[in-house]
């Protein structure tokens, strides 16, 4: 009879504790997880830190935290609680939590590949002493990391890149700087009286004008083409993937070194950012300087996916149009401080340099020379009854609009509006 009573009491105790723990296990229980850094470079190691806090007087006999971790985030040490599954790594942590306690664990993670990774989803399962009843809860945490492309050493860069990053910085002359006078010369027809150097003229007896230095624009725009063949339509695949990844590393290295050398650096590609495939929006980070620009460039390269958004020729045409529009506006902005600019307009003259490459020159002329010279929309491009426009019109306008990059905004103000002499 005593044995039966013992069995009955044991069963009753087991059922009672199962009910109690099932009801209270996940109460006043918090779980957190974060990386030791918000961003890091490909190949580096970071820590994945997880913590569990029990803020009640009742212990938690066991608790299991389970989640899927992207396989690009590899646990540095082999663990029984982390193994490969379809879609990534299956990670499991088991906790015993005494009353009013906190447990923190550190896992060393190796970053295998650039990208943006989320490890914020976790399933919590708690049980009683005999695992008769379980309580479950799903949580979404803010736990992610941005992995930048690896910065290559000098030996890993191709020779042209090393030569381009030599001591001589190439400067593109925009317009004379009104504040930088480097000398004088004899007066020539067409020189404005505003530039006459009166003291030198009085001393020599001949009219002399000031020779002004130029506002320089030392900038680098690194352009990466992800189109590996003429027939390619969308995603890069096969052996080309690693080639493209190496190209991204080279682009990141060139931009980083340019910024370190005092140059403005930018990045553009006919690929797109994650989640933007099919939108027609390619990657374009306008050249700028400073530490924040470095973060913007590396962040764009980390979020970049190997999806060809536009063919390279169309992308370059669009990029040229946008760039020229910006430079034209900046040319007008800089000239506006000169009273002689009144009643003048700026224009673009397209030409070729000594090597036969396309380039553009920005000039200012009186507005009367441009007035009434307007290119009208051909009426034959309009369909009958104004039902639309012809295919010829569409073919004309499409290269001008396709893949047009967006301005980088700082709040409600374009962040790119910085005078040439301040960049």
Angle at 108 between CA 103 and CA 114, to 5 degrees: 130
| Burial class of 269 by CB neighbour count within 10 A (0 to 12, 13 to 18, 19+) | buried
Q: Which long-range contacts (CB under 8 A, 24 or more apart) does 82-90 make?
A: 90/66
DSSP letter (8 states) at residue 113: S
The DSSP code sequence of 153-192 is PGGGS-HHHHHHTSSPPP--EEEEEEEEEEEEEE--TT--
User: Is the pLDDT higher at 108 or at 76?
Assistant: 108
CA–CA gap between residue 283 and residue 248 (Å, rounded) = 13
Cite the residue boundaries of each domain of the chain with CATH code 2.60.40.10: 2-148
Among the four given CATH numbers 3.40.50.10420, 2.60.40.10, 3.30.470.10, 3.40.50.2300, the one describing domain 2-148? 2.60.40.10
Q: What's the confidence (pLDDT) of residue 110? A: 93
**Which range scores top for mean pLDDT: 17-31, 158-172, 328-342?**
17-31
Asked whether residue 252 carries a pLDDT value surpassing 60, the answer given is yes
Decide: pTM greater than 0.85.
Answer: no
Asked whether residue 196 carries a pLDDT value surpassing 90, the answer given is no
Banded model confidence at residue 422, pLDDT cuts 50, 70, 90 = very low
CB-based contacts of 288, cutoff 8 Å, min separation 6: 264, 265, 266, 296, 415, 416, 418, 423
Q: What's the confidence (pLDDT) of residue 278? A: 81
Q: Which residue, among 13, 24, 75, has the nearest Cα to 45 in the 3D structure?
A: 75
Q: Which residue, among 41, 48, 79, has the nearest Cα to 143 in the 3D structure?
A: 48
CA–CA gap between residue 349 and residue 50 (Å, rounded) = 61
Report strand pairing: 39-41 vs 144-148.
parallel
| Token couple for 67 | 């989640």
| Token couple for 342 | 């009144």
Least confident of 30-39, 64-73, 273-282: 273-282
């Amino acid at each position: 009879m005593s044995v039966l009573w013992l069995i009955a009491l044991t069963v009753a105790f087991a059922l009672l504790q199962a009910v109690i723990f099932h009801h209270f296990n996940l109460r006043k229980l918090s779980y957190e997880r974060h990386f030791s850094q918000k961003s890091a470079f490909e190949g580096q190691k970071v820590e994945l830190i997880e913590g569990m806090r029990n803020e009640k007087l009742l212990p938690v006999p066991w608790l299991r935290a389970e989640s899927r971790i992207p396989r690009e985030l590899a646990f540095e040490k082999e663990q029984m609680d982390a193994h490969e599954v379809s879609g990534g790594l299956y990670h499991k942590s088991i906790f015993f939590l005494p009353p009013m306690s906190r447990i923190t664990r550190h896992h060393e993670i190796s970053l295998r590949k650039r990208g943006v990774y989320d490890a914020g989803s976790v399933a919590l399962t708690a049980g009683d002493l005999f695992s008769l009843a379980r309580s479950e809860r799903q949580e979404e945490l803010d736990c992610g990391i941005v992995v930048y492309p690896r910065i290559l050493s000098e030996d890993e860069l191709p020779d042209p890149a090393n030569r381009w990053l030599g001591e001589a910085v190439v400067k593109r002359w925009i317009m004379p700087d009104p504040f930088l006078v480097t000398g004088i010369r004899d007066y020539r027809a067409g020189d404005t009286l505003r530039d006459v150097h009166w003291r030198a003229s009085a001393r020599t007896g001949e009219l002399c004008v000031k020779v002004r230095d130029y506002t320089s624009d030392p900038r680098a725009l690194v352009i990466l083409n992800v189109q590996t063949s003429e027939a390619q339509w969308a995603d890069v695949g096969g052996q080309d993937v690693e080639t493209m990844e190496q190209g991204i590393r080279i682009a990141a290295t060139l931009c980083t070194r340019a910024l370190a050398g005092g140059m403005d650096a930018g990045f553009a590609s006919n690929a797109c950012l994650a989640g933007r495939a099919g939108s027609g929006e390619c990657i374009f980070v306008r050249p700028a300087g400073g530490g924040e620009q470095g973060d913007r460039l590396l962040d764009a390269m980390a979020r970049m996916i190997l999806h060809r958004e536009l063919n390279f020729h169309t992308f370059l045409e669009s990029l040229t149009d946008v760039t020229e529009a910006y430079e034209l506006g900046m040319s007008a902005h800089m000239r506006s401080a000169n009273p002689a600019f009144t009643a003048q307009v700026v224009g673009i003259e397209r030409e070729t340099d000594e090597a036969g490459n396309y380039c553009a020159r920005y000039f200012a002329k009186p507005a009367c020379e441009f007035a009434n010279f307007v290119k009208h929309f051909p009426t034959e491009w309009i369909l009958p009854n104004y039902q639309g426009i012809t295919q010829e019109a569409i073919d004309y306008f499409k290269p001008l609009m396709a893949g047009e990059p967006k301005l980088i905004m700082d709040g409600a103000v374009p962040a790119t509006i910085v005078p040439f002499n301040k960049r």
